[in-house]
């Protein structure tokens, strides 16, 4: 196990290790308790939020002979085979690389045969939106009359690309982005288990920067694992991951609020000197101005951004938002967006950001 990447090593093995996604967990564990698991599910939602994890958990619970209530035993042969990715009765298909009708036909032919060891044959079709039209049609036929031993779990980040005919045949679960505190809990657990020395502000920054994806957070932690001696601090996270701190975007925005182009350009110059990644910074400026716009539209919408920021940060943002007209903010977002496009081609790295800030100040009120 030693050289497994963290997010694989710590993938939840039982339902009680899953964070967030309460509605999905509750429905599925209830179905397991009552022996009323459906034949076709669709798991959709952002990357790294638990779709594959829950699909495998469901497969394991369904087939584990020693299951207690809904939790798999994680000891029997079947549980071990699933953990090792070697179970005969769990067939995982990556639709991104098996898009065609032949693969689905193969699946349809194989589905007739009873499960080898367990009670169910579970088919997980990942990235299902990638299937071709013909493959979808073939899949539809299978979903219309699945044998009693077959269970399908389709997973996708892009549900709008899945045909309505398929959607009407499956029970759909929408996975949501995980909150900062949910991710933080996992990061603390993993950092503890791995004996990674990292302080709370640093861990929080990682959790926040992952934007709801636990996998992204865990991959960042992985990179920080080998960060030299001593305790990892927030500044280390910033420089190693090119993570942009809220304080920095807030500081530059303060120069905009006070209509101070000299201060703003000087600030950008200092960031260049520190070796900051301006592309990342621009991305974070766009996030920041989006949040300002939301708060300007209606402070009551702060719930939309409360997962990304602490309460203090929401309040600081609200203060900045109040000094703009809504129109200034939407304009600023357009300006920042095109600046980040320009950034890819410019021979003068700080120029798009400088120009953007000067224009936003010029347009303000």
# binding residues, ligand ATP (CB under 6 A)? 20
Q: Hey, which residues does 121 pair with through a beta bridge?
A: 150
State in angstroms the smallest separation of the CB of 163 from Mg ion.
20
Stretch that binds Zn ion, among 34-42, 66-74, 87-95, 151-159 (CB under 5 A): 66-74
DSSP 3-state percent helix, strand, coil across the chain (nearest 5) = 60, 10, 35
Among 218, 236, 245, 354, binds ligand ATP (CB under 6 A): 218
- Could you give the CA distance from residue 27 to residue 41 in angstroms, rounded to a whole number? 12
Residue selected from 79, 191, 205, 309 as contacting Zn ion according to rule CB under 5 A: 79
Q: How many whole angstroms separate alpha carbon 104 and alpha carbon 20?
A: 33
Residues in a beta bridge with 173? 43
Whether residue 175 contacts residue 141, with contact meaning beta carbons closer than 8 Å, is answered with no
Q: Does 50 bind ligand ATP (CB under 6 A)?
A: yes
Q: Which of 52, 279, 318, 338 lies at the binding interface for Mg ion (CB under 5 A)? A: 52
Number of H helices, E strands in the chain: 17, 5
Residue 177 binds to ligand ATP (criterion: CB under 6 A): no
Quick one: 11 or 169, whose CB is closer to ligand ATP? 11
When asked if residue 215 is in the footprint of ligand ATP (CB under 6 A), the reply is yes
188 touching Mg ion, by CB under 5 A: no
φ, ψ at 244 (rounded to 5°): -100, 130
64 touches Zn ion (CB under 5 A): yes
Residue 40: which H helix or E strand, with range?
strand 40-44
Does position 157 interact with ligand ATP (CB under 6 A)? The reply is yes
- Choice between 62 and 170, CB closer to Zn ion: 62
State the nearest-atom distance from the C-beta of 255 to ligand ATP, in Å.
38
Binding status of residue 214 toward ligand ATP by CB under 6 A = yes
Whether the Cβ atoms of residue 175 and residue 24 lie closer than 8 Å to each other = yes
Question: CB-wise, 8 or 33, nearer to Mg ion?
Answer: 8
Distance, CA of 48 to CA of 215 (rounded, Å):
5
The stretch among 75-83, 110-118, 225-233, 311-319 that binds Zn ion (CB under 5 A) is 75-83
Nearest CA to 139 out of 129, 58, 149, 70 is that of 129
Question: Are 212 and 20 in contact, with CB atoms under 8 Å apart?
Answer: no
Among 9, 39, 47, 76, binds Zn ion (CB under 5 A): 76
> From ligand ATP, Zn ion, Mg ion, none, which one binds at residue 20 (CB under 5 to 8 Å depending on kind)?
ligand ATP
Query: Residue from 15, 18, 118, 284 that binds ligand ATP (CB under 6 A)?
Result: 18
Considering the rule CB under 6 A, would residue 53 count as an interface residue with ligand ATP? yes
Q: How many CB atoms lie within 10 A of CB 313?
A: 18
Q: Residue 76 or 358: which CB sits closer to Zn ion?
A: 76
Spatial separation of the C-alpha atoms in residues 6 and 3, rounded to whole Å: 9
User: Which span (58-66, 202-210, 294-302, 318-326) binds Zn ion, by CB under 5 A?
Assistant: 58-66
Strand partners, 90: 122
Beta-strand relationship, 121-126 and 150-156: parallel
Q: How does DSSP classify residue 34? A: T
As to burial, measured by CB atoms within 10 angstroms (0-12 exposed, 13-18 middle, 19+ buried), residue 85 is exposed
Quick check: 11 binds ligand ATP (CB under 6 A)?
Answer: yes
Under rule CB under 5 A, residue 157 binds Mg ion = no
Q: Which residues of this protein are in contact with ligand ATP, per CB under 6 A?
A: 7, 10-12, 18-21, 47-53, 157, 186, 214-215, 218
Q: Which residues bind Mg ion (CB under 5 A)?
A: 51-52
Which residue ranges make up the site for Zn ion (CB under 5 A)? 64, 66, 72-73, 76, 79
């Amino acid at each position: 196990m030693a050289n497994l990447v963290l997010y694989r090593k710590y993938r939840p093995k039982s339902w009680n290790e899953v964070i967030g996604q309460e509605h999905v967990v509750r429905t599925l564990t209830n179905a397991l308790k009552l022996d009323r698991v459906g034949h076709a599910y669709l798991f959709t939602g952002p990357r790294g939020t638990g779709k594959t994890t829950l699909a495998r958990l469901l497969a394991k619970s369904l087939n584990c002979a020693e299951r207690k209530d809904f939790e798999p035993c994680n000891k029997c042969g079947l549980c071990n085979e699933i953990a090792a990715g070697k179970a005969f009765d769990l067939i995982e298909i990556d639709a991104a690389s098996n898009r065609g009708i032949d693969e689905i036909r193969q699946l349809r032919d194989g589905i007739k045969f009873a499960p080898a060891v367990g009670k169910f044959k579970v088919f997980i079709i990942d990235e299902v939106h990638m299937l071709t039209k013909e493959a979808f049609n073939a899949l539809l036929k299978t979903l219309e009359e699945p044998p009693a031993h077959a269970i399908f779990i389709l997973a996708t980040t892009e549900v709008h690309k899945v045909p309505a005919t398929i959607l009407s045949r499956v029970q759909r679960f929408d996975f949501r982005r995980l909150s900062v505190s949910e991710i933080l809990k996992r990061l603390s657990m993993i950092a503890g288990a791995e004996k990674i020395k990292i302080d709370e502000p640093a861990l929080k920054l990682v959790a926040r920067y992952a934007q709801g994806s636990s996998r992204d957070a865990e991959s960042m932690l992985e990179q920080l694992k080998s960060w030299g001696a001593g305790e990892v601090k927030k500044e280390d996270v910033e420089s190693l991951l090119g993570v942009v701190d809220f304080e920095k975007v807030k500081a530059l925005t303060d120069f905009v609020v006070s209509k101070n182009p000299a201060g703003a350009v000087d600030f950008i110059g200092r960031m260049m000197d520190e070796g900051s990644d301006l592309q990342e910074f621009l991305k974070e400026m766009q996030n920041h101005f989006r949040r300002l716009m939301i708060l300007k539209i209606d402070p009551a919408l702060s719930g939309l951004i409360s997962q990304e920021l602490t309460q203090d940060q929401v309040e600081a943002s609200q203060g900045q938002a109040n000094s703009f007209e809504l129109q200034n903010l939407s304009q600023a977002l357009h300006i920042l967006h095109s600046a980040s496009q320009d950034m890819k081609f410019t021979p003068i790295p700080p120029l798009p950001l400088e120009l953007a800030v000067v224009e936003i100040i010029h347009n303000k009120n």
